[in-house]
Amino acid sequence: MGQYHKISVTFANRKLRNFSIAKHIRHCIQAALREQNVDVPCEINVLVTNDRGIQGINKTLRNLDKPTDVLSFPMFQFQPGQLPEDWEPYIDPESQLVPLGDMAISLERAKAQAKEYGHSVNREVGYLTVHSVLHLLGYDHLDEGPMKRQMRSREEAILAEILLPR
């Protein structure tokens, strides 16, 4: 049996609610954590919203008044590919889980990008989910060099494992 993770998927409104998308997001998060060798029970909260909703979050928390596809809010500052040897300091004493952080995904943007890139909505949502999990684990792509290549390499490896290759 796999590692227990508490993955809460919330939809911003009833029109967005889609149980297969929620299940898919959970599956992608679990696969990304497994592929990154996260061997401690974690908690991740996901908000599925639309462009307007994610634009509000982006404006409030990042002072960027524009929609985006995914936002990640890591709880800790990890080094990419270097997980703690001792998770004890990161475990929430009440839940006994490591609260890795939160993510917000614009389903509206994911559908538009899937159409633009010529692949399925599942593939796009899967990519955005894996991308966000890697941010929660310390990966970033602020440079156009080694950091971005390292993150893209991990994304593609994880997506291939869950049968969502490019």
Task: Give residue-wise pLDDT tens across range 29-65.
Answer: 999 999 999 989 999 999 999 999 999 999 999 999 9
Question: At residue 166, does pLDDT exceed 90?
Answer: no
Tell me whether strands 6-11 and 70-74 are parallel, antiparallel or unpaired: unpaired
Report pLDDT digits (tens) over 100-157: 999 999 999 999 999 999 999 999 999 999 999 999 999 987 766 788 888 888 998 9
Instruction: Decide if 129 contacts 25 (C-beta within 8 A).
Output: yes
Question: In angstroms, how far is CA 37 from the centroid of its own chain?
Answer: 16
Instruction: Decide if 16 contacts 49 (C-beta within 8 A).
Output: yes
Question: At residue 1, does pLDDT exceed 60?
Answer: no
Domain boundaries in the chain? 6-161
Q: Which of 15-24, 87-96, 114-123, 139-148 has the lowest mean pLDDT?
A: 139-148
Question: At residue 71, does pLDDT exceed 60?
Answer: yes
Q: What is the spatial distance between Cα 155 and Cα 165, in angstroms, rounded to a whole number? A: 10
Phi, psi of 103 (to 5 degrees): -140, 155
- Provide the total of helices (H) and of strands (E) in the chain, helices listed first: 5, 4
Q: Out of 3.40.50.450, 3.30.930.10, 3.20.20.370, 3.40.390.30, select the CATH number for domain 6-161.
A: 3.40.390.30
